[in-house]
Amino acid sequence: MSNKLLWRATKAVFVREMRSELRSRQALNAVALFAVCSIVAVSLGLGPLNRSAELPLIHAALLWIVLLFAAFTALSRVFVVEEEQRTAAALRLAAPPHAVYLGKLLFNLVLLSALTVLIALLAIVLLRMQVKAPSIFAVMLAAGALGLVSGTTLIAAIIARSSSRSALFAVLSFPLLIPMLVTAVRGTALALAGMGWDRCLAPVQTLLAYAVALFITSLFLFATVWED
Amino acid sequence: MAERLAFTAKISLGLAMSGIIYAMFLVVPQYVGLGEAGRIIIVHVPTAWVTSAAFALSAVFSIVYLRTRSALHDASAVAAAEIGTLFCIFATVTGSIFAEVVWGTFWNWDPRETSILVLLLVYAAYFALRSSVDDIARKRRLAAVYNIFACVTMPFLLFVAPRVADSTLHPNCAFLQGSKCEGISLDLNGAKIGQLGDVVVELKSVETTGELTQARVEVRMPGLTQNAELTPSLDASGKPADRPEFPGQSFRMVLIEANPQAGTVRVNMQAPGTGLLSNQRTLWVFLASNLTFGFLALWLYRIRATILHVSALVETQEAH
Amino acid sequence: MDAIELTDISIDYGARRVIAHLSLRLERGSVMVITGQNGSGKSSLLRVFAGLQRPSSGHVHYIANGQNSLPADARQDIGWMAPDLMLYRELSACENLRFYADVRGLTLRDSALMALLDRVGLHGRGDDIVATYSSGMTHRLRYAYALLHRPSVLLLDEPSVMLDERGHTLLAEVVDAQRAAGITIIATNDPREQRFADTLVHLEGAA
């Protein structure tokens, strides 16, 4: 399989996902509503918070908890729907496994990016989250989203082949996401508090290293999950 | 011949275990500051090591399984994971008891506490996955993949996540790299807030009065309604002078370095028990205990693996 | 692909052995029909041929130019359809077929696509969403999916189960064309389809 064919197949898988999603809007509607509900619930529940030295950390933690659970509802769909609608066999026979993985990873990345932007905006408006270093904040969220997607896409493929799908997704993903989550919360808090790159570079590097390590491992393991 | 050897091995394992328990209570001296509780180290640390070793072993068997697709290798991976879970629970419980008695808190989100908890969650997820796939071959395959994938995330937990790597109450930092024992640096003009374990500390001032260099550090921690202020200090020779105890806990804050001109300090938390193993008798009992627990785990693993091998063979046989 | 060979294939479901120690070899130009009651493992055997299912023991060899080819390469040479094969409901037939052509790395011209739709009897319905199709039309689309890449091995599971009379003509045409192009394997209990067979295999089912 030459790289050109692989890229073409990857693009086809990605475009197909986008097209199906734009027609049915199943994932987007459900997850966007989920995001709105949880941010509203958090803001109502907390009420106004005093500005204190810990506020950025509290905001960062809430932001990532909402993102994490939105990801749990959104990111397993790419594989679960294929099994539920029984389209998996046709895809398995036609497409190279790596193209399936990469295409779906890209789609998950786009979906999670949209979600992240939505949740961050809601948090700024409803939680009155102050972002003192916006560009670092954006980089931190992007790196965190990369980590989240590369950590969960293989798990999504695994749980799609089990019998208790949605419940298992969070159970399997959570322990693997803890290091990434802790780093992302810390880093985001630093960005919210307006720290410079001298302190924010390390968490971004950690998140990227995590994303790359899991991405490469997933590439090795995916064919095994996807076969038969 | 082999049978006799196995029998001898079993008997000596039993004797060694009894010896360790005897030594733990009667040979190891009390350590100042730890009291009787210090003895738990003799079982706690070896079980924690066995846990990590079993997890690594399980991942190795998973890799081998994916290469050979032999039911026996999968059974070995399961056996290792089961033994790992058992020892993981031992390590967590003994550790918590020790932490409560000595540090005054059952749970502190110390790096090693965090990683052992994650390990427990990974094991739980591994078995949950196994129980929810019906097809046998697929179950083995997916479980092996998950096991390997989980193993890849472990280094990030142990070595990288900055929150967990800043400081630790655990003695003997050298055993596990990444849990830095240097404490954290605070800067009046920059990063004046930091974290030690799950305690947030904020530097208020640092100044020299007479012989002493004293830092005022505000402390916020879970379960504390008001922020407390601690004033650790250094004497003229740069040695820690005053080591105030954290409110409601039995570990202390220690000032390691201070530069009043620049407004920077380095502080750390210090628990009783650091330097426990410098006692020769304790050291030897500790090493023997590690060895014995290692063999105990190996023996348990052998038994469990044999049972699982047989049932894996039966599973295949039944179909024939 | 010149030949396909099964050596000592067994298929288990849990403790139940559905197919035991089956070995056979099919050469280019042959048509094999597999019969057997429900649950005898016809569909599973077809999935094993397609590489969609790993047999519990034994091997499948795909032989091209006198050499074993890798399962990943063989995939390009296999066309498979079954009643439980589904295409994307929210896409049109054309979008579906273009997608499968893309992931297989094929260039699919509009004229070729139209010809394929004509051949399976979906003329003029190519731009309709698959969700609006009747079950017979969906089944015809499965033929298009299986024939899209001109495979040398065609695996048909219950090929006429949802089709009308004209559908049987379609099947006869497809099998005739494939007899010239390569290997055909059909799993069915319909006596009319058993007539296509050069080789007839009857599966006894659970032992």
Q: Confidence class of residue C204 from pLDDT cuts 50, 70 and 90?
A: confident
pLDDT tens digits for range B30-44: 655 556 666 777 788
Q: Which residue has the higher pLDDT, A145 or B13?
A: A145
| Predicted local confidence at residue B161, as pLDDT | 44
B135 and B20 in a common domain = yes
Q: What band does B83 get if pLDDT is binned at 50, 70 and 90? A: very high
Q: How confident is the model at residue B222 (pLDDT cuts 50, 70, 90)?
A: low
Pairing of strands B228-230, C67-69: unpaired
Distance from CA of B72 to the nearest CA of C (A): 15
Closest CB from B141, B152, B191 relative to A224: B141
pLDDT at C199: 86
Q: Quick one: average pLDDT of B250-276?
A: 76
Per-residue model confidence (pLDDT) at position B177: 32
Q: Which residues in chain C are contacts of A90 at CB distance < 8 A?
A: 85-87, 100, 145
| Residues of A with Cβ-Cβ distance to B125 under 8 angstroms | 171-172, 174-175
The band of B165, judged by pLDDT with boundaries at 50, 70 and 90, is very low
**pLDDT (0 to 100) of residue B167:** 45
Question: What is the C-alpha separation between B201 and B230, in angstroms, rounded?
Answer: 10
Closest Cα in chain B, distance from residue C123 (Å): 41
Question: Is there a domain that residue B275 lies in?
Answer: no
B34 within some domain: no
| pTM flag (> 0.95) | no
Q: For residue A82, what is the nearest residue in chain C, using CA coordinates?
A: C88
Per-residue pLDDT reduced to its tens digit, B114-138: 788 888 999 999 999 999 998 888 9
Cβ–Cβ contacts within 10 Å for residue C25, how many?
13
Task: Judge whether residue B255 has pLDDT over 80.
Answer: yes
How large is the average pLDDT for residues C80-99?
A: 93
Predicted local confidence at residue B264, as pLDDT: 86
Give residue-wise pLDDT tens across range C8-57. Answer: 998 888 778 888 889 999 988 899 999 988 888 899 999 999 988 888 88
Coil, strand or helix: which one is C163?
coil
Range of the domain at A201: 3-226
> Phi/psi at B309 (nearest 5 deg)?
-60, -45
C116 inside domain: yes
- Does pLDDT of B180 surpass 50? no
Q: What is the domain range of residue C186?
A: 28-42+72-202
Residues B64 and B153 in one domain: yes
Alpha-carbon separation of residue B10 from B7, B24, B296 (angstroms): 5, 21, 9
Q: Are B126 and B150 in contact (CB under 8 A)?
A: yes
Same-domain check for residues B134 and B53? yes
What pLDDT score was predicted for residue A67?
94
Model pLDDT, residue A40: 92
Sole residue written with tokens 């399962």: C71
The pLDDT value given to residue A176: 93
Question: Are the C-beta atoms of residues A112 and A75 closer than 8 Å to each other?
Answer: yes
Averaged pLDDT for residues B293-318? 85
Do B172 and B308 fall into the same domain?
yes
Asked whether residue B166 falls in the same domain as residue B116, the answer is: yes
Assigned domain for C101 exists = yes
Neighbouring chains to B with at least 3 Cβ pairs closer than 8 Å: A, C
Residue C18 lies in a domain: no
Q: Are residues B94 and B202 in the same domain?
A: no
Q: Are B159 and B300 found together in one domain? A: yes
Residues in chain B with CB shorter than 8 Å from the CB of A162 are 129, 132-133, 142
Option in B124, B138, B149 nearest A154 (CB): B149
Lowest mean pLDDT among B241-245, B290-294, C177-181: B241-245
pLDDT at B316 (0 to 100): 67
- The whole-number pLDDT of residue B174 equals 32
In a domain, C90, yes or no: yes
The reply to whether B152 and B289 lie within a common domain is yes
Interface test with A, best of B152, B179, B192, B203 (most A CBs within 10 A): B152
Res B36: pLDDT: 66
Say how many CB pairs under 8 Å bridge A and B: 102
What pLDDT is stored for residue A69 in this prediction? 92
- C151-187 as b/e, with b when 16 or more CB fall inside 10 Å? bbbbbbbbbbebbeeebeebbeebbeebbeebbbbbb
pLDDT at A1: 52
Closest-CA distance, B148 to chain C, in angstroms, reads 22
Query: What pLDDT was estimated at residue B182?
Result: 67
Domain count, chain A: 1
Chain C residues with beta carbon closer than 8 angstroms to that of A228: 47, 52-54
Please report the ipTM that was assigned to this predicted complex: 0.92
Residue B4: inside a domain? no
Sheet of B252-259: strand order equals B184-187, B264-270, B252-259
> How far is residue A100 from each of residues A104, A106, B169, measured CA to CA in Å?
6, 10, 46
SS3 B86: helix
**Domain assignment present for C163:** yes
User: pLDDT at position B317, please?
Assistant: 65
CB B40 within 8 A of CB B97: yes
> How big is the CA angle at C35 (ends C34 and C37), to the nearest 5 degrees?
140
Domain that holds residue B147: 13-28+39-176+282-319
Report residues of chain A scoring pLDDT below 50. none
Residue B306, domain member (yes or no): yes
Does residue B136 sit at the C interface (CB-CB below 8 Å)?
yes
> Number of folded domains in chain B?
2
The total domain count for chain C is 1
Note whether residue B168 is domain-resident. yes
Closest chain C residue to the Cα of A103, Cα to Cα: C103
